[in-house]
Amino acid sequence: MKSIAEKFMKNPDLSREEYAELIRCGSDPDTVRALTGEAVRIRKKHYGDRVYTRGLIEFTSYCRNDCRYCGIRRGNLHARRYRLTPEEILRCCARGYELGFRTFVLQGGEDRWFTDERMADIIRRIRKAYPDCALTLSVGERSYETYRLWKEAGADRYLLRHETADAEHYGKLHPPEMSLAVRKMCLSDLKLLGYQVGAGFMVGSPGQTVDCLAQDLLFLKELKPHMVGIGPFIPHHDTVFAGEKAGSVEQTLFLLSVIRILLPKVLLPATTALGTLDPEGREKGLMAGANVVMPNLSPMERRKQYDLYDNKVSTGEEAAECREALARKVERIGYRLVEDRGDAL
C-alpha cells in the first residue's frame, strides 16, 4: 500500500496535490484493497448493514439547459419529451409507498412549465399524503427565494451535482451561459436554508484530469454535503461527446471508497450509471462503501424517454417493482434493504 493512502486513512485532510497522488494510486491493488476495507469499516460503524432506498420519479424530460454531455439537453431535437401531470406524480408516490419506499426523489430537467408555485403545490400534496416520508428534489439551479418556497412547502433534500469543481473543465462540459460559480452558490443557498444537500460529479468525463478529481475532493471536503452522487460518464449518441469512451467502473468504485473515508457519515448511492456499465455495478458500489440505492418509480412507458445517456437501465433490479429481487441481491452480499427515510446522520 502506498504511503499517501496510509496518511489519508489516518487523516483524510489532504492538500490538492496529495489528493491527486492518492487518486493515482487507484491502479495499485494493495491500495484499493486497503481503502475499500477501511471504507466498509466506516460505513458499518455508522450505518451497520442498512441500505436505504429512494424511489426515483423522473417527471419531466424537458430542459432549458444545453449541457454538452446530456441526452435531454435543449438542443437535442431527437429527444422524446414528456411531462408527468401532478396526478401521475402522486400515483407514482402511492405505488412507491405500497412497495416500501419512504423517500421519493422528484428528478427532471429544468422545465419552466413547472413554475415555482406549481412545484410548491406538488410538494405540499406529497407532504400531506405521506407525512412519514422524505421528499428530495433534483431540478437544477433556482433562486434562493424559490428554494425557500419549496423548503417551506415541505421538501427535505436537494440533489444538485456540481459535475466538476474545476472551472475550466466545467466550461468544456456546459454552454457559456452556465457557470461553476452559480452552481456553487446554489449549493450554498440550499445548505443555508436547511436542506439535506447532495453534490457529486461524473467520473471519466471528457477533459477530466487527475487534478480535476482532486479539486472535486477538496470541494466536497469544504462543502460537507449530506449526500454525494458519483457515477461513470456514459456518452449519449446525440451529443458532441458521442465518440468519447465511458468512464471507468473501477475508478468510480475506488472514489466511492475515498469519499466514504473523507465524509464518514455521508449518504452515498450506488448509482444507475454503475449498474448500466456493469450488471453487478450496484452491488460492487455497496461493497465499496455506498449505502443508498435509487430504483425507478417512473411510469414504465416513460422510463426509456428519460434518456440522459445511452443504454440507461431502468428495468430489472433498477425498477422499483423489483424491490424484492433487489433485496435478495443485497442480502447475498451481507446487507439489507430497510423501509426507512434514511436521513443523514
Tens of pLDDT, residues 147-204: 999 999 999 999 999 999 999 999 999 999 999 999 999 999 999 999 999 999 999 9
Rounded to two decimals, the pTM is 0.96
Give the list of residues 6+ apart from residue 147 with CB closer than 8 angstroms, or none.
Answer: 158, 186, 189, 190, 193, 195
What are 16-66's pLDDT values in tens digits? 999 999 999 999 999 999 999 999 999 999 999 999 999 999 999 999 999
Q: Does residue 163 lie within any of the structural domains?
A: yes
> What angle do helix axes 249-262 and 3-10 make, rounded to 10 degrees?
40
- The helix (run of H) or strand (run of E) holding residue 280 is none
* Residue 11, domain member (yes or no): no
Assess if residue 315 is contained within a domain.
Answer: yes
Would you say residue 262 lies in a domain? yes
Domain span holding position 179: 26-338
Q: Is residue 13 part of a domain?
A: no
Residue 108 pairs in a beta bridge with 60
In a domain, 16, yes or no: no
Is there a domain that residue 289 lies in?
yes
CATH code of residue 318: 3.20.20.70
The count of domains in the chain is: 1
In a domain, 7, yes or no: no
Least Cα distance to 178 among 162, 191, 196 occurs for: 162
Percent of the chain with pLDDT over 70: 97
